[in-house]
């Protein structure tokens, strides 16, 4: 399956988390499971491709919706540093909510 057009970078919000929950409750068809694989250009530690446009300073070190369609129902978000390096985090509640101020502060480090 060809990957869809790149979407723009969008801040990760509580609404984003709700949409992820809706996607995770839907059962993917067997065909979708086989065709959808992580995009090798969007792996952790790689630089975000320039096809996604310029990275506004306000989005550096901020949680963003995952741009890889493979992760749409995996409850993840990404954070980019100044060099556009991709870091992927779980959006599930472990000890702290993804919106907890302590967790958000540690992501920025």
Domain count, the chain: 1
Q: Which of 57, 45, 34, 51 is nearest to 88 (CA)?
A: 45
Return the pLDDT at 2: 46
CB distance 48 to 1 below 8 Å = no
What domain range includes position 71? 14-108
Return the pLDDT at 6: 58
| β-pair partners for 86 | 80
| β-pair partners for 78 | 64, 88
Return the pLDDT at 51: 92
Specify if 42 maps to a domain. yes
Angle at 61 between CA 70 and CA 43, to 5 degrees: 30
Specify if 3 maps to a domain. no
Return the pLDDT at 109: 76
Specify if 4 maps to a domain. no
| H helix runs in the chain, sequence order | 14-25, 30-35, 101-108
Rounded mean pLDDT for each run of 10 residues along the chain, 109 residues in total: 64 92 68 77 96 92 94 92 96 87 87
Specify if 6 maps to a domain. no
d(CA 62, CA 49): 18
């Amino acid at each position: 399956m060809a990957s869809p057009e790149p979407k723009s970078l969008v801040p990760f919000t509580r609404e984003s988390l709700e949409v992820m929950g809706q996607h995770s409750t839907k059962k993917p068809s067997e065909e979708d499971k086989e065709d959808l694989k992580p995009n090798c250009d969007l792996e952790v530690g790689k630089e975000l491709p320039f096809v996604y446009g310029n990275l506004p300073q306000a989005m550096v070190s901020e949680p963003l919706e995952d741009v890889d369609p493979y992760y749409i129902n995996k409850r993840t978000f990404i954070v980019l540093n100044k060099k556009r390096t991709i870091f992927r985090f779980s959006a599930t509640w472990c000890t702290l909510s993804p919106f907890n101020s302590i967790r958000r502060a540690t992501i920025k480090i």
